[in-house]
Structure 1
Amino acid sequence: MTRFRQFAAIDWSGAVGARQKGIAVAICDTGVDAPTLILPTEGWARHAALDWLLHDMPADTLVGLDLGPSLPFADTGAFFPGWADSPPDARALWALVDRICADDAHLSATSFVDHVEASRHFRHHGGRKGEFFERHGRLRATEQAQRAQGLNPYSSFNLVGAAQVGKSSLTGMRVLHQLAGRVPIWPFDRPTGGSLIVEIYTSIAALGAGRSKGRTKMRTIADLNAALTTIGSLPVPGNGPIDDHSSDAILTAAWLRANADRADLWHPPAMTDEIARTEGWTFGVT
């Protein structure tokens, strides 16, 4: 039986601004009750989510963050080939991003993607590509494994398009740097008790709840409840529409509860110690 007493999921956002419509937080306890949304009066901000993780998250919570905690490293032996200051591991990467973006408001990461060296590795708006960005962009080992599971991950070096994840990952790294040493983060830490943060990919929860590829987003409460029922959760009340950020968070919190004690998810065979230290891994990818 899992040691965790609460299960939470945070759908993240790298958008510009003080408040983020794309951030949603859901939580549930052990048992079968449906997760509930945590709804701040003024809406979520990245700083508010950080504060919740540090001060308001219940003890012994397994919390999933829907963001990339690192960048590709294993394929070239570096995050940023050709840059003398390319960090040696994920924690040093978080520190670098946070330092370069120290003056960026709302935990944004504009200064990093515009940095003279870092920008050479990203695909930017306006058809601009750094000389190190090739084809669709580099992927982490866990993202390669996601493709093998039938998912469609995007490179965090891609900053263009509705499906881009680069900005959310970089803003998330600023949060992770400020959480380091205060809340353990898997697989960079190997804690034995207390709360724990993992990377999640909400489509994994949707597929595990019976949604088909290409239909992982749920925009009605009826669709959300059908998915919740499939993974052994009671439904949420009400009917009608729901935004996909909220439904992603609710379903993934319930999915974490249903899968937290699966040993294979904590020990994926392709996750070496070096990959765990540099790239991290997505919980749910085997």
Structure 2
Amino acid sequence: MSPDRFRHFAAIDWSGAAGERHAGIAVALCRAGESAPRIVRPGHRWSRAEVRDWIAEDMPPETLVGLDISGSLAFEDAGAYFPGWEASPGDARALWALVEDFSATDPHLSAGSFVDHPEIARHYRRHGGREGDLFGGGIGRLRVTERTGQTALGCRPTSNFNLVGASQVGKASLTGMRVLHRLDGHIALWPYDPLPERGHVAVEIYTTIAAIAAGRPASRSKLRTFAELNAALSAIGSKPVRGSGPIDDHRSDALLAAAWLRTVAHDARYWQPAAMTEGIARTEGWTFGAL
């Protein structure tokens, strides 16, 4: 890939929480080179719909944008997202469409109605001790990118079928799928789309991978002071951001991830992970950077 393929790099720390606007959503952006990343619309509380619109309409030219979501569900281990259900979607795009269809009346791009469906609920662990008979026990089903790439880096991935606990990622991923469905056709969504020669590209990221690349252990990936953030930025060749004292980890995750994307985007290995087959790319997707 040409070293100047992308001119801008963005990262979005996501939230699946209830409500319209979220302190947990942060959008960061940096230019090619080594300039410091910056927060987009500082002080603004983003809605998920606004993030979608910013990606589709307002990003600067040739942006690689990373969304801190899981873009799909486990498929490879059982040959289906919802094994035993004849209406189980056949690929990620069909899954996004199903989430959108079942959640069409849910406000703020939430997806509670999707997991309330009687067949789908059988596969989820939900609040109130509700665990579907097909959840599978333990931590739940994982995608190949989680079982191999993320685990090899020292991460402790969580199943997208788990909706319980502080570390659960299922809600954020389902809301993210609604955004991917609404972005489909507007920009390239890797790896569900091949990497185009020009234009914007969106990828799935896991901000812990960026922290590991900056020398942080996975268990201490959260950066809660400007000093910690700037040390991490320096480790990956970025100039520091302005500020001192504490910083919330939503902003620091986004800032570091945007700068990290800039350092790895032109490395072909990240676009061709060894364990990602064509089938996996089409059904499960992949976490950018999980080699």
Q: Distance in 2 between matches of 1:271 and 1:192?
A: 21
Distance 1:53 1:96 in 2: 22
TM-score by length of 1: 0.98
Question: Could you list the per-position Cα deviations for residues 8-48 of structure 1 after superposition, in whole angstroms to 9, with x for gaps in the alignment?
Answer: 00001100001011100000001111110012664100011
Give the conservation status (yes or no) of the 8 Å contact 2:38–2:255: yes
Separation in structure 2 between the aligned mates of residue 153 and residue 160 of structure 1, nearest angstrom: 14
Out of 86, 89, 99, the residue aligned to residue 87 of structure 1 is 89
Aligned partners of 1:2 and 1:260 also within 8 Å? no
Partner of 2:155: 151
Whole-angstrom distance in 2 between the partners of 1:94 and 1:205:
27
Q: Deviations over 1:163-212 (max 9, x none)?
A: 10000000000000011111110001012210100000000000000111
Q: Which amino acid aligns with 2:186?
A: R
Normalised by the size of structure 2, how large is the TM-score? 0.97
Residue 184 (structure 2) aligns with: 180
State the superposition RMSD in angstroms: 0.9
| CA distance in structure 2 between the aligned counterparts of 1:251 and 1:148, rounded to whole angstroms | 21
Residue 142 of structure 2 corresponds to residue 139 of structure 1: yes
Partners of 2:25 and 2:210 in 1: CA distance: 17
1:212 and 2:217 equivalent?
yes
Match of 2:208 in 1: 203
For residues 247-273 of structure 1, the C-alpha deviation after alignment (integer angstroms, 9 at most, x for no partner) is 000000000001111111110110000
Listed one character per residue, the Cα deviations across residues 65-84 of structure 1 (whole Å, up to 9, x for unaligned) are 00000000000000001111
Query: Equivalent residue of 1:232, what SS?
Result: coil
Counterpart code for 1:200: I
Q: Are residue 170 (structure 1) and residue 174 (structure 2) matched?
A: yes
Partners in 1 of 2:258 and 2:75 — Cα distance? Answer: 29
Aligned residue runs from structure 1 range 1-286, under 5 A: 1-39=3-41, 42-134=44-136, 135-145=138-148, 146-190=150-194, 191-286=196-291
Q: Which runs of 5+ in 2 are unaligned?
A: none
Cα separation, partners in 2 of 1:2 and 1:271, compared to 1, 3 Å:
farther
- Aligned counterparts of 1:41 and 1:18: Cα–Cα separation in 2: 16
In 2, are the aligned partners of 1:271 and 1:281 still within 8 Å (CA)?
A: yes
Shift of 1:131: 0.6
How many residues are treated as equivalent by the alignment? 286
**Farther-moved stretch of structure 1 (200-209 vs 143-152):** 143-152
- How far has the Cα of 1:64 moved from its partner? 0.2
Unpaired runs of at least 5, structure 1: none
Structure 1 residues 40, 116: CA separation in 2 closer, same or farther (over 3 Å shift)? Answer: farther
Runs of 4+ in 1 over 6 A off after TM superposition: none
Question: CA contact under 8 A between 2:11 and 2:67: conserved in structure 1?
Answer: yes
Letter in 2 for 1:250: L
2:74·2:81 contact (CA, 8 Å) conserved in 1?
yes
Cα contact 1:185–1:198 (8 A) shared by 2:
yes
* Contact map agreement 2:106 2:112 (CA 8 A) in 1: yes
